[in-house]
Amino acid sequence: MRRHRAVTEAACEIAGRFGYQLMATPIFEFTEVFKRTLGETSDVVMKEMYSFSMKEGEEITLRPENTASVVRAMLSGGLLQQLPLKYFYAGPMFRHERPQKGRQRQFHQIGVELLGVAQPLGDVEIISVGAEILDRLGILSSTVLELNTLGDVPSRLAYRAALVDYFRGVADELSDDSRKRLERNPLRILDSKDGGDRRLVADAPAFSDYLNPESQDFFGKVQQGLELLGIPFTLSPRLVRGLDYYSHTTFEFKTDDLGAQDTVMAGGRYDGLVEIMGGPPTPGVGWAAGVERMAMLLSEETPAPRPVVLVPMGAAAEAAALVLARDLRRAGFTVEMGYSGNLKKRLQRANKMAARAAVLLGDEELQQQAVSLRDLDSGTQELVALDDLGARLSQLH
């Protein structure tokens, strides 16, 4: 949980520096929100969503992702007049998948969404937010940014037609899943993990051959922006998104340090999503990242703060210790109380919790307006005036 918190807090802080506001959406939504945006024939909708029927007959679903929820919240909240909108979120998502390393059925994501910016500058900013978060966590160097373009709608339609024509010619050699995808979202075949499919994909038409000048110019400006910021990337022409509302930039930060689960952060431009959900044409771009996977990449265990343990001996000392503990906590120290037992047992417990110091307080110390401060690393002990205790503890920490 300390690693989990380190990821989330770092991401929230960095996103805030870019002007992204915290957004919280419901854990469950009407099922139609996801059927409409993820596609009724997608694997997520058909196999992975947790959906339930309410007493009123309505279907609800635990959110499998959050972009659709953010857009739904924007539309239902009447926020379109405030574009551009910049949101950061963090929270649990749910997918009925086979649990494995870095993938649970209840997992956690962080993500950012930028709505209302059609220029390549938005894509560059979104990617740079992700890179800054990974850098803050010390894991950017263990990832590779893969980048591709899906072009605008005319480019995408031209490529889709060429792709369908090619794969229909080798349909008998495709896997069962890819034959189904050929009819509903052929671009997903490019992302197939099946060995036979991958051999066929290697000879498939290249998207770059179908990009019109406008799409080429857009992608060029995204690359230029990343180069200006010193964010290295690798062009990955087979990196795709299967749904028609995606366009232009698509990207993933990947790593070799997590085995098969190599994607740490994934995103892209989704200019058609708001319109699909009933709103006016509105550009959008964003990404999501798995907190568990990012936490697994942290190079060092995030240490718990080492507390100060108060050890009051006697009723009068216990009363004084309550006030002293409050004052020390307000001064920024983590303070534990040695509740009961003899002095030896209380100090043993303090050592077990890796306390930095023990503050011993008894009748004798009360009379002198002081405490006995024991350095639990060195074992030395000294008498310290109450007024000087905060400063002395700061020296130890």
Q: Is 93 helix (H, G, I), strand (E, B) or coil?
A: strand
> DSSP assignment, residue 337?
E
- How many beta carbons lie within 10 A of that of residue 62, not counting itself? 20
Query: What CATH topology corresponds to 308-396?
Result: Rossmann fold (3.40.50)
Query: 14 or 276: which carries more pLDDT confidence?
Result: 14
**What's the gap between Cα 265 and its chain centre?**
8
Please say whether the beta carbons of 374 and 380 come within 8 A. yes
> 57 in the Ramachandran plot: left (φ > 0), alpha (ψ -120 to 50) or beta?
left
Q: Is a pLDDT exceeding 80 seen at residue 101?
A: no
pTM, full prediction: 0.85
Binned at pLDDT 50, 70 and 90, residue 172 comes out as confident
Q: What is the mean pLDDT of the chain?
A: 90
Give the pLDDT confidence of 209-263 residue by residue, as tens digits.
Answer: 899 999 999 999 999 999 999 999 999 988 887 677 889 999 999 998 877 668 8
The reported pLDDT for the residue numbered 40 is 57
**CATH fit for domain 2-152+212-297, picks 1.10.150.20, 3.30.360.10, 3.40.50.300, 3.30.930.10:** 3.30.930.10
Binned at pLDDT 50, 70 and 90, residue 44 comes out as low
Give the pLDDT confidence of 320-373 residue by residue, as tens digits.
Answer: 999 999 999 999 999 999 888 888 899 899 989 899 999 999 999 999 999 999
Give the pLDDT confidence of 18-43 residue by residue, as tens digits.
Answer: 999 999 999 999 998 888 777 655 66
- How many beta carbons lie within 10 A of that of residue 34, not counting itself? 24
Give the pLDDT confidence of 69-78 residue by residue, as tens digits.
Answer: 999 999 999 9
Per-domain residue ranges for the chain? Answer: 2-152+212-297, 308-396
- What the block records as the tokens of 264 is 């740490």
